[in-house]
Structures are given as C-alpha cells and as structure tokens.
Structure 1
Amino acid sequence: MTDLTDNRLQELTLEFPARYNQFDLLNSVLSKDKTTNPTAIALVGQSSSGKSCVLRRFLQEVQFSHTWLSCDECVTLRVLLQRILAALRAIGTQDPNKLDYSVLCHNSTLFVTQLNDTLRALALEEAHFVVLDRIDELGEPYESFYQLIINIGNMLRYDGITFILVSSRSEPRSSVTTTFPHIYFPPYSKAESLAILRKESPDSIRSMLGSTERKLSDAQLTSLWSSYSQVIIDTYFPLYGPDIQQLKAIVRRVFPTYAKPVLDGVVGILASNRNYHGFVKLYKINQPLLTSEEFVRNSFVSYVQGTGAAESTGHHDMPMYAKYLLCAAYLASYSKPRYDIRLFSRIRESRRRVRNTAKQKFKDKINSRNLAPSPFEYERLLAIFQCIVPDRIDSVTDIQTQVATLATLKLITRVGIGSDSSGGSSIDILGSTSKWRVNVSWDIILQISRDIKLQIENYLMD
C-alpha cells in the first residue's frame, strides 16, 4: 500500500481528531519511490500535539520501511550518529534488535562517508525513513546536526533514505532558511481537546473505577464519561490550555471520586445524555471536588505516603502557560527594557549612539543573573509573554488567574503598594502599571524553559 484514499484519511481523523491536514500532508510528501522523497522533513509543534503518534500511525498504515530512534536516549550527537548507522546496517537482518555499534563515527564527515558506504551496500529499492523522535531533547545542542541534515542531500551519492525530525521546538536561528518541508501541528482547541478526552472505551473507563458492587452498562459508562469530560474541560482548560497529557492525568485521577455518588446509588444515570437532572445533581455533589484545592493536596499527600515519592511536586505540575509566564517574568527582571525591541520584536531596532562611559563598561562586565532581579511593569510582562509563546493563545485561557497563582506561590512578588486618588491602598494588583519582580533562581528557570522547549538563552543579552 502506498497512498491513502480520502475515505481512509477520514477514518484516521476519527481516531486522531483535528489531524486530517497532517495526515494528508504526510500522504502527499512521503512515498515509497526513493527518487521523489525529500532528504529530510520536519514535524514541529508544541508538546502533546500528537506529532509522534500521528507519524507512527501513518507509517504503520502505509507500511513504509522505517527506523524509529528516540533522541532523548542519546547523550551526545556522536551516540546518535552511531545509532543511525547501526540501525541502517540492521535493515533486512533477522533480528534488528541486535545492532552493530562497532562502527566509528567521531564527526559529521566520517558519518557521511559511512552513510554512503552503508547505502551502497544496502542498494535500497524502496525508500527507507529514519525517524528521529524528540530531536530537541538530545543530550547536547543539536544545531550542528540541523546544519548537517540541511546539507546532507548534496553529500550523499545514493538515494533511498529520508530523515524525519520530530521536534517540540522550532528550528535553531541559524537554520530558519531550511529548504526541506515542515509540517506544523497546531495546539488543540477546547472542542478538539474535549473530543480527545471523550475517546475512551467502556472497558478503559471501567478499569479506572476498579472493582465496584454496582455494575454500569457500557451505555451508562459512556454517558457518564461524556458529561464528566465536559465538566473537566470547562474547569481546567482555561488553566492548562491544550496540554492533553496533563488533562488526561487530571481526568484519570479525579474520575473515581467523581463517579462515587453514581456507584453508591445516590445519583441515577441513564444510558443517554438526556438525564439532565441526574448530571446536574452529580455536579452539585462534586462541586467542592472541582473548586477546592483540598482534594489536590490530600490526593498528593496520600500519593507521597503510599509510594514514598519526593515531597516536592516539581515544575512538571505547573500549567503550561504558567511556565511561559514565569519565564517571561524572569526575562522582564533580567533584561533591560531598552533591549526589548531587539530581543522580542521582528522589527529592526533603530540604532543610536550611546556614550559608553567607564561606569557603563564596568556594569556591562557583571552578569545580570548575579544581581538582584529588577522590577517590571505588569504590561511589559504580558508583552514579553505574547512574544515567547509559540502559538496563538486560546480566548478562553485565563492569564490573569495564572499570574495571581504565581503571586500566591511567591514565584513573583509585588513591588511596592499602589495608592488610589483618595490615598487608600489600591486593590487592582494586576493593573497595567503595577510593579512585579521574579523570585526564582536561574537554575529553576532553566529547567522550566527546557520543559516547555523554550530556548531562554536566546532572549538574554549575557
């Protein structure tokens, strides 16, 4: 099988909602004919946008010969190049898991030479695809590998191989003029996230509940799960945005407690969505569960006591946009406002001469990260946040609530107390002219930026 029909693409879209265009582009660009494929293709999009699962399902459907490599398991670029050569040499063997790592690959020149020798020995009749999943999580900077992939088409003497780069981060600045195709995976909208959460089979829903005395039919489970998914999306999507992994973790953790009144017989659920009174009663019973932080705190404490896990949740429990806001707060505190146009705008900065005094020269020698954070206005924080977020922000996302949460956690602190015209204390702490200061160290910000695939070093002058 080579090409997918439109009917089959529609069926795959039912399995992966909102990804028809991506399947269609993959079907149009890739082929078994080794002479028509590009040397490389990049799949780009933020985390939890379905890049890897869509690509894996497509390659399985069209039955293309491919090799899948996880780059986050490679400590250095040398290890990755060695694994590529070893995987290609294992094509056609009886046991592809027994890879030969004896081949040496110290640099890109030797890699190209070995790759040409391998392709000559293989004599591929059909195209073979090398998938480099999570290339942005390589153990060392991958800019040099991007440059190698850009130019490798001019250095190979044999056809038959195509590299597929899967990344949650945009290509490096030095490679923005790449000529190979890019397929973009946009973040899921609220309706698309709801459709994904609702794609749970009755058996999977029943396994979340465990062994219970009252048995619900498949239709009742589906009806209960459908209404429950709607409640979770309405409650948590403004905070977590299109982060499907975090949303799935929430629905799986909260569902057994949410469904307990149904299992105890307090609320009756019909095998349809027309039982509005039952769903409203169930929601009212579980309203404290969805609006209070006591459940999260108690669940986490019991989890720690039961598993012996560390007592610190870490930055992985923060919503995605909260991580971007915290990074924006750090940039606002440790970068000077006069450099904002140069760092965060595409418009060329107007040049003007500035007298470089001896005092200024001495200040420039000091790394700003070794100094105390400078205060910044709330309006500037939002402007930097809009610049570093790679995708358009959904209109339902509550940014002010997340800023208030960061302030409650003391990750950002208010500077000074404003006063109104009557001399009293100002209550608008999120006013455009309110002053803030970040309260997080560089090491923590670096970990958070790595988690959201943000190259924060590119936005700092030193």
Structure 2
Amino acid sequence: MPGIGENEIWNLNPYKNHELGVLSTFIVPDTNICAPGIIVEGPESSGKTFTVIKYANYLRKKFDVKWMQIKCDYCMTRRRVLRKVLEFMEEILEVDPDYTEYRRRIHSSRQMSHCENLSNFTYVLKHTFGSALENKVKEVRSQTVLFVLDRVDRMLISEQIGELCGALTRLHEQDDLFQGICFVFVVNRADYLNLSTMSIPTIQFTSYNIEQINNIIGKKFVSDEWLEAVYRDLDSAKISKKQLQIFIRSFVEYIVKTYGSYFGHNIDMIIPALRRLWPAFYEPIKARGSIKPRVNDVLTTFMRKRRLLQTEYGLVTKIADENGIKVGDKFISRELQSPTKAKENNKMRYDLPLRTKYIVVASFLASFTDPKYDMVNFSKNRELRSNRRVRYKRRKTNTSNETMGTKLMSPKPFSLERMLAILRSVATEFDVGQELADDVQLQNDISTLTSLKMLIKMGAHDTIGGATKWRTNMEWSAVQQIANDVGFKIENYLQY
C-alpha cells in the first residue's frame, strides 16, 4: 500500500502544515495503527473542519477510505448521532434491508431501532456486521472507517457529550469488528468534553493571521466561477481579468484592515460584510467601463466614502440598526446608494410586529423627553393639544429633522409605568385599531426587546433604591425608521 506523501497533504491547506502532519500521524488507512479517537480543537474560523475534511477526501481518493461528516449542531441529540453512524455502516456493509433475520433482530425492538443508549448502539452495530456478506465485512475491517463529528460541543448539554465521546473512543474495546472505526471530534475547546484523563490525542489549531485571511478571502473572491460572472457583467473591453483580480484583492485588503478590530480573525463575519460593501466599489467601475487610478480605483472610492465605511453602516443587522437594502442578489448599504435609489427604498422592513414597534417608539420617547412635558405631549386635553400643535409648528420651522441636539446624546432612565402610559397615548391616537388591553402580551413584547438588548433594565439588583428603571438602547436612525413605518412623526415630540 502506498504511503502518505508529505507534499501531497501539505497542499491540502498550505497554512496548516503542522496540523496536517500531526493529523496524518494518528489517522492512517492501516487499522492496526490508526487512533480510535482524536480531538481537533481551535477557535472559530481557524480551519479545523476545512482541514479535516480535506484530509478525509484525500484518504478516500488515494486509499478508498470510507468517511462521513456528522454535523452535531444540527443533530443535537446522541440518538440522532448514533443513528447516522449505524446508517452509514449499513450502507458501506451493503446490508439488505429485506434480509429476514436482520429485520427480526434489529427492528423488532423499538429501543434498538432508535439507539436511545450506547449499549443498544453496540448491540445493533454487532448484528449489522453479522448480517452483512463475509467479503464486505473483510473489506471494511481492512480499511479505516472515519467519522468526523463536527461541532460536537454544540449538542444539548443534557446529552452528556463527554460520556458519548468517551464511549465512542473506546468502541474498539467492545469487539474486534470495530477495530478500524475512528472518530474525530471537532470542538472549539477540548476541556468542554472533560476527557483529559483518557489520553485522547488532541490537535490544537490556531487562528489565521491577517495576511493569511487576506489571501484566503482574496482567493475565494477571485474564484473562476465568480470572476467570470463579474467579468461578463462588466462587459467592457477596457478591463482585463488581471486588472479585475488586482482590484478585488485590493478591495478585500482595505475592508479587512478597516474592520479588523471588529472582525478579529473570524472569516465567517468578514465575508458577509464584503458582500454588502462590494456594490459600493463595483458600481463606479461598471458605470465608467474602466478602472482608472485616482478616479474609481479601490483607494479613491474608499477615501471618498470613508466616513460611511468606517462606521457601523457596513455591519448592519436584521432588526435594530438595519440601514441596508437588498437589490436583487446584492446587499447595498442605504447610505452608499444614490439619492434616487435611497428615496425609492425609503420604506424599511423589520422582523418586529406592529405592537413591538410602538413599544420601541414609546421607550425612546420616555428616555429622551422631559417628564414635565408629558401632559403637553401626550394628554388628551383639548387645550393642551392645541398648545402642542403650535409648539410643533414653531419647532419644525427652526429645526431640521436630520440633526439632533445635545439633549439626544444619551438616554435617561424611566419607570415602566410612564412608558406604558406614553405607549397607550401614542398607539390609541395614531392607530385606533391597535388593541393594548392584553397585559400579558405587552410583558412578552417587553421581554423580547430586553433579550434583544433594545431595551435595558437598570437597577435590577438594587433592593433598597426603589423601583426598577428602564432605558432605550436604540440609536436614533433605527428608531426614526421604525416610527416612519408606523406613520408616527417622532421628531415633533423631542426637545432639541
């Protein structure tokens, strides 16, 4: 049998040569020297799963090693993990599902068919080997069978993950038939499994550095398929593929450096932001039909829009601070669009029900309005309402809605009763059909906003200082958009 070539495996991931070398020491095609279990640990986006899968595919291509990846963050329970192991073993052993003896032994018991515990799993696995053809059993026993349990630490805590991993690692002790079965546990931290006393080999992955991240993402963005699509979309004879590759790599480098303090070394966070910001750099070269230095190159576009790119506008979320719009398959930041397109897409959409939007508006008003003006702002008294309209009219003529004064710089705490009173006044005046009598539903909505950090509960541990206070945790632009969605002129209620 040919051996594992160092140069061959190093090409699988050139940034993880050391880790691949250790991996190839413990996981080999020979069942006599292959480790029964191995732990691969490292932080997010350190290349753990990618490297292990690349190595497993290499073993399958060169040595015909059978392997399977089990995504434990989707399986969640040990029963589903064990069932996937059994199903794969049945597949490679080519067990006939119509085999009478096999069906009688395996499927007659509900506990065995569901594999609800490890003892049942071992029993069923033995009979799976016994129900297969002899030549298939010999073939499977002569080669390593690899199971990659990816993100096994994401399973439910109640499933006793450490016990499961320990039992699977000792599976070869139950019977000689299981000698060639190897399990790879991919986790963020190995101490979470509590297996330090079992002497299981552990390979530790470290995060990619910034230069490596630039190379990895740059290579991903200039992949042949994506580059061809962009090149065809440009449809310009003045731009070559080489120029486009240089442009894309420069774009990746600038964005990674700009948001490096926020991203850290997490590639999964970088790629979505690159996709959102790409149209801001791509549209100028598409409009001109060429890439010209000091006109529409990456540096010039970056410097022209640096005030927006260096803020949170490139890192929007789906609820509180969404300032972006999806146009087709592209995600474009609202502030990076042309004024015409921004006006056309002025209506924002949020994953919030109508009642919750009113609570957001009411909490913002409670934090940024003076309580002494509550009677003027929110009272049903006809005289006070007329005074309010006069004051609004005078305020509108002197103040722009686009700029906020110093009084809106920091939110002030308020009592829950005051916020609910403002909510009832606002909702009943501007949306008569909105029913607010359900106190239970109101409390649920407030709890939801608190869990989303859109509403902050203050003084929860102060047992002597009086009533609990609250304050809003929403920025002005997001609240203004929500108020516009419900047709509420929130600017008229704020003191500048």
Shorter-chain TM band: 0.5 to 0.7
- What corresponds to 1:5 in structure 2? 5
Residues 153 and 193, structure 2, Cα contact 8 Å, conserved in 1: no
CA separation in 1, counterparts of 2:348 and 2:153?
31
Match of 2:118 in 1: 108
Partner deviation per Cα, 1:298-341 (whole Å, 9 max, x = no partner): 315877989977259xxxxxxxxxxxxxxxxxxxxxxxxxxxxx
TM-score if structure 2 supplies the norm length? 0.55
- Cα offsets for 1:203-238 (capped at 9, x unmatched): 414546883454632101111011111101111111
Given that 2:41 and 2:188 are in contact with CA atoms closer than 8 Å, whether structure 1 keeps it comes out as yes
Deviation per residue, 1:60-107 (Å, 9 max, x gap):
1222211222223324212221221121111143999xxx99452232
Distance in 2, matches of 1:161 and 1:238, equals: 43
Identify the match of residue 324 of structure 2 among 299, 306, 328.
299
* Bigger CA radius of gyration: 2
Amino acid at match of 1:81: L
Give 2:153's aligned amino acid: D
Matches of 2:210 and 2:471 in 1, distance apart?
30
Determine what percentage of the aligned residue pairs are the same residue: 20
Question: What is the CA–CA distance in structure 1 between the aligned matches of 2:119 and 2:6, rounded to whole Å?
Answer: 43
**Native 8 Å contact 2:10 2:16 kept in 1:** no
Q: Work out whether residues 169 and 183 of structure 2, in 8 Å CA contact, stay in contact via their aligned partners in 1.
A: no
Q: Which residue, 19, 39, 44 being the options, matches 1:42?
A: 39
Corresponding residue of 1:230:
253
Partner in structure 1 of residue 148 of structure 2? 131
Q: Would you say the 8 A contact 1:3–1:62 is kept in 2?
A: no
Partner of 1:253: 276
> 1:107 and 1:258 mapped to 2: Cα distance?
55
Query: Is it true that 1:211 corresponds to 2:236 in the alignment?
Result: no
Sort the Cα spacing of 1:83 and 1:11 in 2 relative to 1 into closer, same or farther, 3 A: closer
Q: Which letter does structure 1 place at the counterpart of 2:54? A: R
The residue matched to 1:66 in structure 2 has which SS? Answer: strand
Aligned to 2:85: 84
Contact 2:454–2:472 (8 Å) recurs in 1: no
The count of aligned residue pairs is 314
In structure 2, the partner of 1:182 is 202
Q: Is the 8 A contact 2:36 2:170 kept in 1?
A: no
Q: Determine if contact 1:44/1:184 at 8 Å carries over to the other structure.
A: yes
Written as runs of structure 1 = structure 2, the 5 A alignment for 1:160-199 is 160-172=180-192, 174-199=194-219
Counterpart in 2 of 1:201? 223
Please tell me the residue identity of whatever aligns with 1:108.
L
1:276 Cα offset (Å): 11
Note if contact 2:93-2:129 (Cα within 8 Å) is conserved in structure 1: no
Partners of 2:13 and 2:51 within 8 A in 1: no
Change (3 A) 1:22 1:217: same
Is 1:287 the counterpart of 2:302 in the alignment? no
Q: Distance in 2 between matches of 1:95 and 1:52?
A: 33
Match in the other structure for 2:164: 145
1-structure distance, mates of 2:279, 2:265 = 23
Deviates more, 1:40-49 or 1:117-126: 117-126
**Aligned match of 2:69:** 68
Task: Tell me how far apart the structure 2 counterparts of residues 172 and 127 of structure 1 sit (CA, whole Å).
Answer: 27
Q: 1:67 aligns to what SS in structure 2?
A: strand
Tell me how far apart the structure 2 counterparts of residues 282 and 111 of structure 1 sit (CA, whole Å): 60
Structure in which a larger fraction of residues adopt helix? 2
3-state SS, counterpart of residue 47 of structure 1: coil
| Alignment-derived partner of residue 21 in structure 1 | 18
Matched, 1:54 2:51: yes
Question: Which segment is superposed worse, 280-289 or 177-186?
Answer: 280-289
**Structure 2: how far apart are the matches of 1:50 and 1:208?**
28
Could you say which residue in structure 2 is the equivalent of 1:443?
none
Structure 1 regions of 5+ residues with no counterpart? 313-407, 416-436, 441-462
Give unpaired runs (5+ residues) of structure 2: 98-102, 317-321, 333-344, 354-452, 461-469, 474-496
Check 1:252–1:65 CA distance in 2 against 1; reply closer, same or farther (3 A cut): same
Q: For residues 276 and 179 of structure 1, what CA distance do their matches in structure 2 show?
A: 61
Q: Any conservation in 2 of the 1:150–1:179 contact (CA below 8 Å)?
A: no
Instruction: Give the match for residue 349 of structure 1.
Output: none
Assess, with a 3 A threshold, how the Cα gap between structure 1 residues 239 and 209 changes in structure 2: closer, same or farther. farther
How far is 1:279 from its partner? 4.4
Bigger relative CO (Cα 8 Å, ≥ 6 apart): 1
Corresponding residue number in structure 2 for 1:310: 351
TM-superposed deviation, 1:135: 1.4
Deviations 1:10-56 (A, max 9, x none): 43234xxx211222222222111111111111221222222222222
Secondary structure of 2:186's counterpart equals strand
State the Cα distance separating 1:126 from its structure 2 match.
1.3
23-32 vs 295-304, which deviates more?
295-304
Q: Which amino acid aligns with 1:38?
A: A
How has the CA–CA distance of structure 1 residues 250 and 232 changed in structure 2, closer, same or farther, with 3 Å as cutoff? same
Q: Does 1:118 align with 2:159?
A: no
Report the Cα distance in structure 2 between the residues aligned to 1:91 and 1:280, rounded to whole angstroms: 55
List aligned pairs for 1:347-362, cutoff 5 A: none
Aligned to 1:330: none
Question: 1:248 deviation in Å?
Answer: 0.9
